[in-house]
Amino acid sequence: MSSITVFDIITTAQGGKRLLEHRVQVINQDPSFINYIICPKNDIFTADFYSKNIPYIQFSMTRGLNPIFTIKEIITFYRLLKKYKPIIVHAHTSKAGAVSRIACRIYNMLNKSKIYVCYQVHSFYFNTIYGLKSYLFLFIERYLSKYTDSLLFQNNTELQQAKKFKMDKHALLINIGNGINLNNFPIPNSPKSLPTWKTDHDKPVLIICIARIEPKKNHKMIVDTVYYLKNILTKQYGEVITKHAFKVICVGEIGETDAINYRDSLGLQHYINFVGLKNHQEIIHFLQECHISILTSTAEGKPRALIESMCMGLPCVATNVVGTDEVIVHNETGYLIPLHDYQAFAEAIKLLMENSELYIKFSKASIHRAIKEFDEAIVIDKLKTIYRDRPTKSNPNLNF
């Protein structure tokens, strides 16, 4: 029997590395599959694909919806379909999802062999914006669902949204969840503890945010939080202690600089450091050194950054939005804070900074939850079943 060829297409090389590399490696260990990663080339991320013998096809893609660029991308991807004749196209992120689904629709209309198309929702873009633009992207998602055999979800909220907007009229909706390669992290045997920041100026509480710097990740809320946190700590402990009490490290590709400029305008360079892209080992080092993980996104699929933080023993403070609310257990592994409420966000961080007993309790619970609930091996098994069975709306049989 011939192998099942799978195209995993994603908009960025960083996404290909962080979200797909391990999964594709594991699937390719099964001789039933040949799984490609398709994304733009990047010297930091895609070089590892070659060294790890991961089938990789370089595919340049813009992030916007410029019609000329988008049409060219659709044509280029269609040519890849003609050349490689994959059985399955598994698309990730909005732009890659649009380009690949339109190209597959054209291919399926013009060829006898049909490509099975699945689109994995890492968070609907229309959930992150407002007004007419939100309605436009909702219309696009509903329209493209007609060209999709299965829509794969990481959280139940967006699956129910898809039902509400009748995306299940043509596509089969499947919740596959999300997870990480637990073997790739040095999970601690005991919970983390807080530094003695009140008495030792060389031991601040280190707060980490792992997220691309873009509007959806809402880094301006981090800046507002830090400004407020600095002020309330200063009132209670004075300027000298506060200056050495905490630092925020923002790890991730710098897609836009508004948040950085906003930080600078408030004079918070001492408290917030944007360190840019980091590889996996560097991220592990940061997680080992840091004490609290934060995320201020306007929406998520099921954020790996928080799962990775939890498995390393970091309590998390994050916005109470779609996806994130299925990772953090409020008042058990961290705190879920209303979107844009930077004052409550700062108060939650302060509570963890000041209460060592609570911090250790949350750290222990975070490790336990990450190991129990977010093992990527379960997700990989589900995907292999989908690839083999290729369920559809008219034939929804699945063996899991």
Find the CATH number of the domain harbouring 84.
3.40.50.2000
Residue 148 shares a structural domain with residue 226: no
Asked, for residue 220, whether it belongs to a domain, the answer is yes
Give yes or no for a contact between 333 and 313, defined as CB atoms under 8 angstroms apart: no
Q: Per the structure, how many domains does the chain have?
A: 2
Residue 376, SS3 per DSSP: helix
Residue 239 shares a structural domain with residue 163: no
> How far is 382 from 272, CA to CA, in rounded Å?
40
> How far is 363 from 144, CA to CA, in rounded Å?
42
Residue 226 shares a structural domain with residue 173: no
Residue 287 shares a structural domain with residue 309: yes
Residue 37 shares a structural domain with residue 153: yes
Residue 351 shares a structural domain with residue 309: yes
Any idea what the Cα angle at residue 330 is, between residues 326 and 333, rounded to 5°?
Answer: 90
- Does the structure show a pLDDT above 90 at 63? no
Residue 363 shares a structural domain with residue 380: no
Q: Work out the mean pLDDT of the chain and round it to a whole number.
A: 96
Residue 227 shares a structural domain with residue 314: yes
pLDDT at 43: 86
Q: What is the pTM of this model?
A: 0.90
Residue 317, SS3 per DSSP: strand
Residue 206 shares a structural domain with residue 62: no
| 3-class secondary structure per residue, 132-192 | HHHHHHHHHHHHHHHHCCEEEECCHHHHHHHHHCCHHHCCEEEECCCCECHHHCCCCCCCC
pLDDT at 317: 99
Host domain of residue 219: 183-373
- Parallel, antiparallel or unpaired: strands 272-276 and 292-295: unpaired
- Does the structure show a pLDDT above 80 at 399? no
Asked, for residue 399, whether it belongs to a domain, the answer is no
> How far is 278 from 266, CA to CA, in rounded Å?
26
Asked, for residue 15, whether it belongs to a domain, the answer is yes
Phi first, then psi, for residue 336 (nearest 5°) are -105, 120
Residue 17 shares a structural domain with residue 86: yes
pLDDT digits (tens, 9 = 90+) for 159-216: 999 999 999 999 999 999 999 999 999 999 999 999 999 999 899 999 999 999 999 9
Any idea what the Cα angle at residue 327 is, between residues 326 and 330, rounded to 5°?
Answer: 85
Which letter, b or e, does each residue of 358-373 get, where b requires 16 or more Cβ atoms within 10 Å of its Cβ? ebbebbbbbbebbeeb
Residue 265 shares a structural domain with residue 171: no
